[in-house]
Structure 1
Amino acid sequence: MKTTYILLLCILGAALFSTAVCNSSTGPDDCCFKYYPRRIRKDLIKSYYMTDYRCPRAAAIFVTGDKGRHICVDPSLSWVEGVMKSLDEKSF
């Protein structure tokens, strides 16, 4: 009977330990799973950053100035490249 309790305690401890290890893993904070479908006015965008290389899809995330919204856009589109270039030049 005592052996059964020790075995159950070990299983419970292993289960709790595995959840603690999984929660402390490091991964990308912001990933995009779909792109915003429309064009965004350049004067609304205050900054941008790129998603982490570990994300399933590469994306630029535009941050708006009015409410600080984060909007995922396709970085290969010409208007997105233009906005990113403009923001980069403005920051120098």
Structure 2
Amino acid sequence: MMTMMKNPIMLVACTLLFSSLAVLASQNSFGPDKCCFAFVSKPLPKRRVVSYTNTDDLCPMKGVLFKMLNGNELCADPSVEWVTKIIEAKEKLLAKKVDSSVSKESD
């Protein structure tokens, strides 16, 4: 009689354990980290933008995520002219930094 009671309890315990592990695994492995669902409409001040990243291809809208001096992250439309100008300016600045660090190392 005792062995008949243990089997259903063990089955329920294993099922609960497996389902909780499956939920934890699915939360971390699917989909992009950050997506844009709305864009800022006014141009951002170039000097207040610290860095930028493009959103993942899996996002519903293609966007650029600007990290600002105050820590905020703002989404912008990558096809807008002021957005491309900020990106170009940040790329130039980064290239200048890399170039100066390479020339210091070779001295």
TM above 0.5, yes or no, is yes
Q: Structure 2-normalised TM-score?
A: 0.71
1:53 and 1:33 map into 2 onto residues whose CA distance is: 14
- Which consecutive unaligned segments of at least 5 residues does structure 1 have? none
Q: In angstroms, what is the RMSD of aligned CA positions?
A: 1.9
Aligned to 1:41: 45
Structure 1 residue 54: Cα displacement = 1.6
Bigger Cα Rg:
2
The structure 2 residue matched to 1:22, chosen from 7, 20, 26, is 26
2:61 and 2:7 map into 1 onto residues whose CA distance is: 50
Amino acid at match of 1:88: E
Work out whether 1:78 is the aligned partner of 2:81.
Answer: yes
Q: Which has the higher helix share?
A: 2
Q: Which has the higher contact order (CA 8 A, sep 6+)?
A: 1
Q: Structure 1-normalised TM-score?
A: 0.80
- Bigger Cα displacement from structure 2, 80-89 vs 35-44: 35-44
Structure 1 residues 76 and 14: alpha-carbon distance in aligned structure 2, compared to 1, 3 A threshold: same
Tell me the percent identity: 30
Count of matched residue pairs:
91
Aligned to 2:104: none
**Structure 1 stretches of 4+ moved >4 Å:** none
